[in-house]
Amino acid sequence: MKQLTPRTRRWPSFEISGTESHEAKVLNNLGWIYTESDDSEHALAVYEESLAISRRTGDALGEATTLHNIAQILKDHFDLDTAAHRLEEVLPRFRTAGAAAAEAITLNSLAWINMEQDEFDSAIGLHESAMQLADQLGDDNIKAQANSDIADVQCRRGEYAEALDRYRDSLNVARSKGAIVEQIEARTRVGSVLRELGDLESAFAELKDAR
């Protein structure tokens, strides 16, 4: 993917108006665009600038959001220890701000890192905490993601039967929402687990439907 032209200076309009908190939000959005464009170097640069502004203006939620975004890049580049440190740093800030959805998403991200580091019990515990928050919020998307992620951990531990039940739950949720892409992803996971369990006929049917 074509990289975006690097941003080399602050926008004069923000410097003149002094609306630094707004600038920090725009920088976060720009960082997201850089990230989606596979340009992590410039994404990190604008996130660090946004972070400095949030700290200078006392915007605790903005600071936590930016730290989370930085952690996602580090996680994607498998700098897992640093990413985990960043995520652990932001969790209490999201709690203090009452940002339960952001807290749940952060818990899921931290759990994924734990799974990659073979800390399976800790990973499941974090995902379960995310599911509890999602229940309180009535957020089926976060809950379904955490449920599917727990199944991923169970697969890592060879607990395929337990994982199959969770993947099927995720498939049912996706069907109820009419979410085609999520249905395909869930069917693929169901089919893969059925293959591991030796049920090749059912695995073939699921994977065929997921095409």
The domain spanning residue 39 has which CATH number? 1.25.40.10
Q: For residue 126, is it within any domain?
A: no
Q: For residue 11, is it within any domain?
A: no
Answer yes or no: are the C-beta atoms of 113 and 87 closer than 8 Å.
yes
Report pLDDT digits (tens) over 129-169: 999 999 999 988 888 889 999 999 999 999 999 999 999 99
For the whole model, what pTM was predicted? 0.77
What total number of domains does the chain contain? 1
Q: For residue 26, is it within any domain?
A: yes
Report pLDDT digits (tens) over 161-184: 999 999 999 999 888 888 888 889
Q: For residue 80, is it within any domain?
A: yes
- Residue reference for tokens 């919020």: 137
d(CA 41, CA 20): 23
Q: For residue 90, is it within any domain?
A: yes
Residue-number span of the structural domain to which 74 is assigned: 17-97
Q: For residue 81, is it within any domain?
A: yes
